[in-house]
């Protein structure tokens, strides 16, 4: 779900999987079955339809509404695809909630009056999520979430598969999964596959013992990969491992003793076994459905968005509007302006990710706002609003406050942000934090220098006739020095030139205001960082 056919992880999986991965018309990764291509939401809808039919047979009545859980790190397009899959399955999706949050509901339904902090360690078949929550008085508040969306039970199966001879792939995969499950409760098992292949001497059989200790050696690196997201989630939540009262295990992989030992090492306490790892998420979804239907009261669920959302502004910088781990639903509005004189349209470039530079983040939407009245740069006021609903689905609007013209989009289903991309962004953001901070500071300095040069030129032009020649010459010299520093892209020189030009402009301003009857036709620009209403200067291209 949400992957392009050309994504490296898709190409890697295509070489290993026993079925064919194909490219859809839109470039998404599709699955080929019986000579026909199916999009991931189609396959998801088939699964949902089967679940609906089984539930109807059990309950004896028709089911038309559902609460669906998704991995905490599902991006916007993947959540939208899940809603669409529900529609195809004949379901009205009332709410999308994160799997760790649902598990916390199942754990806390009988502990509503107990103030406590809990961690949900969710290691399933395909993804890993960890979530820190605050539970008290019926309020389930998510403090932080993190994870590795390319780590799950399938990777553990793959470790065993690579250890075996690569023959009859699907039979080996099934045998690997059975061995993994058996070794959670026994110390040794035997992989026995008769007639696995044949050669000139006749049928060949695979009989190979596998011990728990050998399995733990094979998957040690996979188990270790769960520690980083846990540490980050604890840091983001602003708590310590010692202050967490309980750790809940979710997902079949948490039955593995090595995983349980790793959890105990990270959090310093024995994990709770009060909820069934395979049933907790579904039970939590049922509780949320009861809340929405009015059958369960006195419960409030406060979930979060997993990644930062923003737009591209001047200098290819990402300006964040909604930070990661912000409680949803949420809405945020900021005012931006144009970057060029006479600009009549702006390009709203919506981004998702943790890096300060737009090129390092993921584009999740783009639209144009036109019909802006031509005016000097910095004059138009463009109000941009980000609105995330309770399902974690984003809509963006932009309005020109001068003309009232507005454009809005709901980020629609597309290939979206791949799981690997999300993890890569988080890792790179941490690894490149200092470099990113320096690059951003350099761009901000250049933006300030450009703005100051523009304002100074305007001030000197408007007051050319009334300025003393010596003051005018001094200011023009300082302005030329700033332009030279900008052309040379020398940040230190720009900072020095800005300080000297500001001092010269202050003297110019004093001279202008000291003249009899002067109303100050052009105010000194002062600090170039802010404009009217703290407007943020944005990079909008004219079309």
On whether the CB atoms of residues 128 and 151 are closer than 8 A, the answer is: yes
Query: What is the C-alpha separation between 371 and 412, in angstroms, rounded?
Result: 25
* 173 & 264 share domain: no
pLDDT at 412 over 70: no
Domain assignment present for 509: yes
Domain assignment present for 12: no
Residue that wins the pLDDT comparison between 412 and 408: 408
Q: How confident is the model at residue 332 (pLDDT cuts 50, 70, 90)?
A: very high
* 107 & 55 share domain: yes
Q: Which of 410, 433, 456 is the last residue of a domain?
A: 433
Number of domains present in the structure of the chain: 4
* 423 & 313 share domain: yes
Query: What is the C-alpha separation between 273 and 417, in angstroms, rounded?
Result: 34
Query: Which CATH number is 482's domain given?
Result: 1.20.1270.10
Query: What is the C-alpha separation between 471 and 513, in angstroms, rounded?
Result: 14
Model-level pTM greater than 0.75? no
Q: How confident is the model at residue 369 (pLDDT cuts 50, 70, 90)?
A: confident
User: Which residue segment(s) compose the domain that 482 sits in?
Assistant: 437-536
Condensed to tens digits (0 to 9), the pLDDT of residues 428-475 reads: 555 655 676 677 788 888 888 888 988 888 888 888 888 888 888 888
> Mean pLDDT across the stretch 10-35?
82
Condensed to tens digits (0 to 9), the pLDDT of residues 1-11 reads: 767 788 777 88
Q: Which of 184, 203, 220 is the last residue of a domain?
A: 220
* 469 & 370 share domain: no
* 498 & 529 share domain: yes
Strand order in the sheet with 326-328: 246-250, 116-123, 128-136, 139-148, 300-305, 326-328
| Angle, helices 169-182/153-163, rounded to nearest 10 degrees | 110
* 89 & 48 share domain: yes
* 136 & 238 share domain: yes
Query: Which CATH number is 411's domain given?
Result: 2.60.34.10
Indicate the pairing of strand 382-388 with strand 330-337.
antiparallel
* 464 & 488 share domain: yes
* 208 & 73 share domain: no
* 269 & 388 share domain: no
pLDDT at 540 over 60: no
Condensed to tens digits (0 to 9), the pLDDT of residues 473-502 reads: 888 899 999 999 988 888 889 999 999 999
Q: Which tokens belong to 376?
A: 């000097």
Residue that wins the pLDDT comparison between 21 and 413: 21
* 61 & 147 share domain: yes
Mean pLDDT (the chain, rounded): 81
Domain assignment present for 1: no
Condensed to tens digits (0 to 9), the pLDDT of residues 59-91 reads: 999 898 999 998 887 777 778 778 878 887 778
Q: Which of 189, 220, 251 is the last residue of a domain?
A: 220
Q: What long-range pairs does 199-207 form, CB within 8 A, spacing at least 24?
A: 206/164, 206/165, 206/167, 206/172, 206/175
* 441 & 429 share domain: no
Query: Which CATH number is 186's domain given?
Result: 3.90.640.10
Query: Which CATH number is 238's domain given?
Result: 3.30.420.40
Condensed to tens digits (0 to 9), the pLDDT of residues 284-308 reads: 888 888 888 877 766 777 778 878 8
Domain assignment present for 158: yes
């Amino acid at each position: 779900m949400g992957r392009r056919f050309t994504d490296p992880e898709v190409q890697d999986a295509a070489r290993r999987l026993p079925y064919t991965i194909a490219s859809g018309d839109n470039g998404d990764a599709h699955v080929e079955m019986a000579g026909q291509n199916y999009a991931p939401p189609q396959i998801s809808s088939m699964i949902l339809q089967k679940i609906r039919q089984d539930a109807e047979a059990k309950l004896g009545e028709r089911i038309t509404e559902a609460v669906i859980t998704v991995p905490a790190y599902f991006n916007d397009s993947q959540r939208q695809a899940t809603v669409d899959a529900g529609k195809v399955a004949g379901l009205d999706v009332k709410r999308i909630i994160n799997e760790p949050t649902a598990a916390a509901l199942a754990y806390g339904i009988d502990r509503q009056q107990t103030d406590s902090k809990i961690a949900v360690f969710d290691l399933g078949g395909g993804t890993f999520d960890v979530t820190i929550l605050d539970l008290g008085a019926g309020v389930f508040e998510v403090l932080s979430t993190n994870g590795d969306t390319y780590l799950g039970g399938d990777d553990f199966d793959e470790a065993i598969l690579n250890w075996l001879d690569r023959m009859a792939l699907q039979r080996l995969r099934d045998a690997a999964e059975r061995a993994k499950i058996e070794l959670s409760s026994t110390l040794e098992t035997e992989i026995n596959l008769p007639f696995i292949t044949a050669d000139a001497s006749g049928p060949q059989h695979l009989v190979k013992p596998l011990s728990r200790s050998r399995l733990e050696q094979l998957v040690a690196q996979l188990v270790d990969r769960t520690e980083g997201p846990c540490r980050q989630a604890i840091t983001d939540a602003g708590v310590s491992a010692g202050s967490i009262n309980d750790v809940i295990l979710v997902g079949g992989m948490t039955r593995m003793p090595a995983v349980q030992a790793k959890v105990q090492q990270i959090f310093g306490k024995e994990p709770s076994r009060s909820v069934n790892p395979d049933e907790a998420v579904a039970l939590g979804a049922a509780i949320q459905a009861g809340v929405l239907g009015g059958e369960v009261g006195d419960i409030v669920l406060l979930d979060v968005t997993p990644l930062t959302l923003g737009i591209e502004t001047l200098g290819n910088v990402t300006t964040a509007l909604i930070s990661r781990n912000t409680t949803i639903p949420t809405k945020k509005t900021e005012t931006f302006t144009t970057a060029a004189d006479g600009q009549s349209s702006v390009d709203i470039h919506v981004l998702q990710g943790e890096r300060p530079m737009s090129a390092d983040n993921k584009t999740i939407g783009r639209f144009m706002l036109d019909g802006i009245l031509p005016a000097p740069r910095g004059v138009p006021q463009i109000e941009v609003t980000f609105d995330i609903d309770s399902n974690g689905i984003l809509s963006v609007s932009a309005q020109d406050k001068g003309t009232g013209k507005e454009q809005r989009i709901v980020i629609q289903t597309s290939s979206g942000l791949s799981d690997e991309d999300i993890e890569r962004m988080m890792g790179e953001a941490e690894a490149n934090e200092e470099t990113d901070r320096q690059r951003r500071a350099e761009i901000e300095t250049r933006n300030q220098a450009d703005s100051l040069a523009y304002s100074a030129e305007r001030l000197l032009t408007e007051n050319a006739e009334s300025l003393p020649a010596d003051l005018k010459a001094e200011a023009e010299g300082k302005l030329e020095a700033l332009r030279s520093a900008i052309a040379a892209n020398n940040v230190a020189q720009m900072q020095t030139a800005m300080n000297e030009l500001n001092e010269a402009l202050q003297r110019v301003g004093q001279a202008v205001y000291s003249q009899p009857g002067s109303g100050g036709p052009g105010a000194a620009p002062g600090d170039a960082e802010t404009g009217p209403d703290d407007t943020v200067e944005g990079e909008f291209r004219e079309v």
